[in-house]
């Protein structure tokens, strides 16, 4: 593999290479959220504004933030999970072709989808779920008991994927961003997921929980495990969360 791939990516996504986007050509915008299997169970999440937590000063949360790989056996509550999801992808307003959320996104395109590998969350069976940000609900994806092992293997056998309470798995829908920005939009996907993960770190500080971001994973194996094609949708980042 060429060692110049990263350099070539940065070069070819410079503004001088940008072409007319599908948005400028009048192509309709892609859906704001992926559809889901209506035969699967939906789980209502507690409204985030009703979750009661002790207030944590922002500067303290920033100062205390660190990556945590060892977790206690204490589960997260459904209320805590709801708040973490709202802090990372919460929808504040739905407009014609964009959503306004709790994290910034280039052009408010919000090209991420959030999957959750649930290990220990009160009220939820272990397995894979997807967050429906617009509805603020979860939908079951795969409750196979072997799934946690498969995700762990795809994460290069980092065992804290299984010992945490929940692993956030963010996938990118590139066309949602490329529709407006062309190939340069691929840069923005990586920037956007960094915003989401940082919010996860800071929000976890309010509930005596820790986070560890994961960038080392077998892309093809993890995409297969999630049941996504790796082209129109692919895994971009993960983060484990658990009580400390």
Query: What does the pLDDT look like over 64-105, one tens digit per residue?
Result: 999 999 999 999 999 999 999 999 999 999 998 899 999 999
Average pLDDT value for residue range 232-243: 98
Under the banding of pLDDT at 50, 70 and 90, the label for residue 5 is very high
What whole-number distance in Å separates Cα of residue 33 and Cα of residue 173?
9
Phi, psi of 202 (to 5 degrees): -70, -40
Tell me how far apart the alpha carbons of residues 184 and 121 are, in angstroms, rounded to a whole number. 38
Between 185-204 and 174-181, two packed helices, what is the crossing angle to 10 degrees? Answer: 130
In order of their start, the domains of the chain are 41-243 (3.40.109.10)
Output the CA angle 62-64-65, nearest 5 degrees. 65
Q: Does pTM top 0.85 for this prediction?
A: yes
Q: Counting every residue, how long is the chain?
A: 244
Give the confidence band of 167 by pLDDT, cuts at 50, 70, 90.
very high
């Amino acid at each position: 593999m060429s060692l110049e791939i990263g350099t070539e990516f940065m070069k070819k996504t410079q503004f001088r290479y940008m072409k007319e986007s599908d948005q400028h050509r009048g192509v309709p915008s892609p859906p704001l959220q992926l559809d889901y299997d209506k035969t699967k169970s939906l789980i209502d999440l507690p409204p985030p504004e009703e979750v009661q937590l002790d207030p944590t000063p922002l500067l303290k949360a920033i100062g205390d933030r660190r990556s945590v790989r060892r977790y206690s056996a204490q589960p997260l509550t459904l209320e805590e999970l709801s708040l973490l999801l709202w802090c990372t992808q919460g929808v504040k307003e739905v407009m014609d072709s964009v959503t306004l959320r709790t994290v910034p996104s280039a052009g408010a395109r919000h090209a991420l989808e959030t999957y959750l590998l649930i290990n220990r969350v009160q009220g939820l069976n272990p397995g894979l779920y997807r967050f429906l940000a617009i509805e603020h609900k979860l939908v079951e994806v795969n409750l196979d008991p072997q799934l946690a092992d498969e995700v762990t293997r795809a994460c290069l056998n980092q065992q804290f994927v299984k010992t945490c309470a929940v692993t956030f798995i963010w996938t990118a829908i590139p066309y949602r961003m490329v529709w407006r920005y062309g190939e340069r939009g691929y840069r923005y996907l990586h920037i956007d997921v960094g915003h989401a993960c940082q919010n996860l770190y800071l929000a976890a500080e309010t509930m005596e929980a820790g986070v560890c971001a994961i960038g080392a994973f077998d892309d093809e194996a993890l995409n297969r495990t999630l049941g996504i094609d790796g082209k129109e949708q692919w895994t971009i980042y993960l983060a484990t969360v658990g009580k400390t």
